[in-house]
Structure 1
Amino acid sequence: MIRYASALLTASVSAFALAAAACADASTDTRNADTAATQEADGSRYARDGIPSGPDAARQIIADAPEAAWRSVDPDRLLVISTRHGDIWVELTPEFAPNHVARIRDLVGEGFYDGKVWHRVIRDFMAQGGGASDNPALAADRPTLQAEFMISRGLDTNITISELQDRAINPRESSTRARAGFWNGIPASTIPFAQAAIRADGRVESWLLHCRGAAAMARTNDPNSARSQFYITTGNPAHLEAVYTVWGRVRAGQDAVNAIRVGTMGETMGFRPDFIMSVRMASELPADDRLAIEVFDTNTPDFALYLEALQAANNGRLPDVCDIEVPVRVAR
């Protein structure tokens, strides 16, 4: 299970943290966002003198964005977790946690999570599920998983993470910093990619963040102990960064996550946990029961303009990456 005291950062994290600290420059917190937003991109409907301004500028940019600024989520990458509060739609991220995603798919395919409970739920932190109503420590009869806290990206990678601001790698462990931004509309951090060109192995470490709506694997103090229990964040627990494996992101239904009954089995007097009614892949549902989910593409010039509007509304400083809402459109 998740514990408040996270495990120490691994030796590899410590090594790349020192490299990140050497290259961090607080004055560049918003340079990338500014530069991208001020470039007139091919196919963009905006010219510099046509960008909305004022308190509603960000919403107007989203409303006016062309269809090309939206990315459709593949139903075969969407996990649907049904609860009495509504369905939770989670986009899987096998690019960052292939073995964890494969385990989730395997367990979902055999109906393992159906009828399990949200046995440990802490307000403004996370909702942990996968335990049984008579055994909160239940785990699937599967081998433990090796940690996938981060990936290693080389110069030949097709995974692009925007570098918008400096951010502590894990504030509970140290003050060392990396760069934070987005990958496919998901908050992420990375050692500055420019370092790949000067490193001996030509690679840098990158990871998905525990911003509100992150889906990640629970474990014991052993980093390689995850089996089947998972959690979804309802806060921004930065102390879990780079020491727990994030394997997905809520795209719709975060309100249902927030509504799950708070308490811990065996600890909270009178606690009656909410149930996981079922978990399915969206691609397995009848077409009429699926949501069509589109995410604002964080690699587009339209998103850069959106960031510029948010920055202007925040006294000239870009909000923390966890506080930047990536717009989502949902339809049946």
Structure 2
Amino acid sequence: MAFTGVVRAQDTDPENTLILELKDGPVVIKMLPDVAPKHVAQIKKLVRQKFYDGIVFHRVISGFMAQTGDPTGTGMGGSELPDIPAEFSNVRFERGTVGMARSSKPDSANSQFFIMFAPGSFLNGKYTVWGEVVAGMESVDKIERGEPPANPDKIISMRVQADLK
């Protein structure tokens, strides 16, 4: 089944849904294993290791995106897991799209990801889309801006919905 970009929170599969806790409230992310299976698998593995808990949003640009997932907070770090080969698709970068950050090398994605504040057609087909915010975008909109922000917001916790009791 191809992703159409239209998702309702009640349509999500708990095994492929993330709950991202931010200071301003929860964000529900529907992961897209049919679009980017290797990226979704790596994100889920890291989430289940509680890798993302406490990590800052180190690059937040108004009208563009909020980036996180680097334990060093500099934009240069990643996890101890291997980098992931690119899984480019025809899914467009729209408001709420979750994409994987990488270096100039297409196969260098590891743990960093970003959430789009607005459409970014210049990223289409050049970065891997692995998720879509289906609820809580108003909390994403309140993330402190900056490169890096003076007082960066942190991920309080990130969990796979199926693991929540």
The reply to whether residue 255 of structure 1 matches residue 138 of structure 2 is: yes
Quote how far apart the aligned CAs of 1:134 are. 5.2
Q: Distance in 2 between matches of 1:122 and 1:260?
A: 10
Q: Which of the residues 79, 88, 99 maps onto 2:38?
A: 99
Q: Distance in 1 between matches of 2:64 and 2:73?
A: 24
Q: Distance in 1 between matches of 2:53 and 2:113?
A: 14
Quote how far apart the aligned CAs of 1:208 are. 1.1
Aligned to 1:284: 163
Aligned to 1:313: none
Q: Distance in 1 between matches of 2:98 and 2:25?
A: 17
Distance 1:134 1:243, change over 3 A: closer
Aligned runs of 1:112-131 on 2, under 5 Å? 112-131=51-70
Percent of aligned pairs sharing the same letter: 39
The reply to whether residue 218 of structure 1 matches residue 101 of structure 2 is: yes
* CA shift digits 1:276-297 (9 cap, x unpaired): 11110111113xxxxxxxxxxx
* SS of match in other structure, 1:247: strand
Q: Which has the higher helix share?
A: 1
Aligned to 2:6: none
Unaligned runs of 5+ in 2: 1-8
Q: Distance in 2 between matches of 1:133 and 1:107?
A: 15
Residue 77 of structure 2 aligns to which amino acid in structure 1? L
Quote how far apart the aligned CAs of 1:72 are. 2.5
Unaligned runs of 5+ in 1: 1-69, 151-206, 287-332
Aligned to 2:23: 84
Instruction: Tell me if structure 1 keeps the 8 A contact 2:70–2:112.
Output: yes
* SS of match in other structure, 1:208: coil
Quote how far apart the aligned CAs of 1:131 are. 2.1
TM score, norm. by length of structure 2? 0.90
Q: Distance in 2 between matches of 1:280 and 1:257?
A: 16
Quote how far apart the aligned CAs of 1:109 are. 0.7
Aligned runs of 1:89-168 on 2, under 5 Å? 89-132=28-71, 135-150=74-89
* SS of match in other structure, 1:144: coil
Quote how far apart the aligned CAs of 1:141 are. 1.1
RMSD: 1.5
Quote how far apart the aligned CAs of 1:137 are. 2.1
* SS of match in other structure, 1:104: helix
Quote how far apart the aligned CAs of 1:71 are. 6.4
* CA shift digits 1:199-244 (9 cap, x unpaired): xxxxxxxx21100000110001111110000000001011000000
Instruction: Tell me if structure 1 keeps the 8 A contact 2:58–2:73.
Output: no
Aligned to 2:4: none
Aligned to 1:72: 11
* SS of match in other structure, 2:141: helix
Q: Distance in 2 between matches of 1:249 and 1:136?
A: 22
Q: Which of the residues 117, 121, 125 maps onto 1:234?
A: 117
Distance 1:259 1:71, change over 3 A: closer
Instruction: Tell me if structure 1 keeps the 8 A contact 2:67–2:113.
Output: yes
* SS of match in other structure, 2:38: helix
Aligned to 1:274: 153
Quote how far apart the aligned CAs of 1:272 are. 1.5
Quote how far apart the aligned CAs of 1:136 are. 3.8
TM score, norm. by length of structure 1? 0.46
> After TM superposition, where is structure 1 displaced by more than 6 Å over at least 4 residues in a row?
none
Q: Which has the larger radius of gyration?
A: 1
* SS of match in other structure, 2:105: coil
> Using CA pairs below 8 Å that are at least 6 residues apart, which structure has the higher relative contact order?
2
* SS of match in other structure, 1:264: coil
Aligned to 1:10: none
Aligned runs of 1:150-189 on 2, under 5 Å? 150=89
Q: Distance in 2 between matches of 1:216 and 1:137?
A: 17
Quote how far apart the aligned CAs of 1:74 are. 1.5
Quote how far apart the aligned CAs of 1:73 are. 1.5
Aligned runs of 1:21-40 on 2, under 5 Å? none
Aligned to 1:318: none
